[in-house]
Structure 1
Amino acid sequence: MATLRDLLDAAAAGVFPPADGGTTVVAQPSPRDAGVLSFTAHSVIVTDEDPEWVRETLRGTDCDALAATLNPRFLTALLDRTGRRAETVDAVLVAAPLPGVPPLALREIEDAAHPRIAYARGRRDDVRAWTAEDGVLVLGRGVAGRLEVSVEVAEGARRRGLGRLLVTAARQLATEPLWAQIAPGNARSMRAFQAAGYRPVGAEALLLPPRDGARGRPGQRKMPVCPSE
């Protein structure tokens, strides 16, 4: 059976799950990584919970099967079941590495107090960060060990193309496919990443581990996941 990393590597190469309206349940690659990934007409649910519970819960919905796994009510049921906390639903983009020298001067830093770096270290492993004038670039290994990028641009330096230069530089620092998670409403970032050659491949909702180690109880809630029309 394919692992989550198998599915991600295939998607990075342009090979996606079948667009059949189905749902695939895969085991968590680590205790940290859980959530829902949605590709075109196919979802992947990453959890160590009973796959039959997932399928039963989805079968009990009145939702369009193509949207049910990212519907807030299903995500709430999954959160209740696992005791996890919600992240946002993000658009997911990927880009191949680029040859050449980054298009702007970068200086690697190890400032653990920087908010962007601290945020990345809470969600990724092997985090590295670089600064440029008015910008920060961070790389780290996130979901299933994939290489992920995030950037930050100073407010006064926006609308000058610095974000596009930073995410282009990230591709030149990478030696493997590079992934980005972007809130769909962040149109400025979406434009910058796409202008730098990143292509949308799907959406995902990551579920953070509980702060206190608490878990939901199996069978604790059985609720309709979507409202009736």
Structure 2
Amino acid sequence: MPGTLRDILDAAARGVFPPPDGAVTVVRQHSPRDAGVLAFTAHSVVFTDEDEGWVRATLGALDCDTLAAAMNPRFLAAFMERTGRSNDTVDLLSVAAPLPGPATLALTETDGLAHPRVAGASGRRDGVRAWAADGGVLVLGRGVGGRLEASVEVHEGVRHRGLGRALASAARHLAGEPVWAQVAAGNARSLRAFQAAGYRPVGAEALLSAPGR
């Protein structure tokens, strides 16, 4: 099995996943900013700079389904208490291959730091870039493990016209490499948009943010 967080993510983008053996793999953080848990089919990956022995002892003390122990709320709560970090939600993790040629959607690159979507991304990603469309925003930046991550926002007045799907698809034209999307499981509209744009679900992610992020 690949040995670093980025190795695991790159393999997943190619459709190669950890073995579905019920095990938990512990790897080091890619950067001080990001720690957390990835859950693939019957295999979890905990990325942290904490002692691996603590991770395994804490998981072993849980009386729960071992196939999903690392996503158990009690483990996540202990993880946050141990590290002083916080978690907003558990996201569905999706990825899509890049697409050739220019995006069919008219986009204008903007710094856009006043936009909440862009400002929020700047606190969680590096090298953030943003594009405006008529009624929407697309943001790209490097997040967990240095992967390229996309997020989109569509203004309420222009919803249900396919703009979210078009923005998510445009990210694939701009990327030049696999592009990732993390969407809260309950955000059905966003999930539908990314899936319609060709992003395939590969797992779940609980990202633990450092204090102040």
Bin the TM-score by the shorter chain. over 0.9
TM-score by length of 1: 0.91
The answer to which structure has the higher helix fraction is 2
For 1:208, the equivalent position in structure 2 comes to 209
For 2:50, the equivalent position in structure 1 comes to 49
Distance 1:178 1:98 in 2: 10
Distance 1:160 1:209 in 2: 37
- For the residue of structure 2 that corresponds to 1:176, the secondary structure is coil
Residue 112 of structure 1, CA deviation: 1.4
For structure 2, the residue ranges without an aligned partner over 5 or more in a row are: none
For 1:148, the equivalent position in structure 2 comes to 149
For structure 1, the residue ranges without an aligned partner over 5 or more in a row are: 213-229
Matched, 1:189 2:190: yes
For 2:102, the equivalent position in structure 1 comes to 101
Distance 1:86 1:176 in 2: 28
| Superposed counterparts of 1:10-159, under 5 Å | 10-159=11-160
Higher Rg of the two aligned structures: 1
Distance 1:88 1:123 in 2: 14
If asked which structure has higher relative contact order (CA below 8 Å, sep 6+), I would say: 1
- For the residue of structure 2 that corresponds to 1:87, the secondary structure is coil
Residue 171 of structure 1, CA deviation: 0.3
- For the residue of structure 1 that corresponds to 2:106, the secondary structure is coil
- For the residue of structure 1 that corresponds to 2:82, the secondary structure is helix
Matched, 1:161 2:187: no
Distance 2:77 2:105 in 1: 43
Distance 1:134 1:103 in 2: 16
Residue 211 of structure 1, CA deviation: 3.0
Distance 2:86 2:188 in 1: 25
Distance 1:193 1:114 in 2: 21
Residue 100 of structure 1, CA deviation: 2.1
Q: How many residues align?
A: 212
Q: What's the C-alpha RMSD, in Å, of the aligned pairs?
A: 1.1
Letter of the 2:206 partner, please give it.
Answer: A
For 1:177, the equivalent position in structure 2 comes to 178
Letter of the 1:50 partner, please give it.
Answer: D
TM-score by length of 2: 0.97
Residue 8 of structure 1, CA deviation: 0.2
Name the stretch that deviates more: 116-125 or 1-10. Answer: 1-10
Letter of the 2:175 partner, please give it.
Answer: A
Distance 1:186 1:112 in 2: 24
Residue 68 of structure 1, CA deviation: 1.2
Residue 116 of structure 1, CA deviation: 0.8
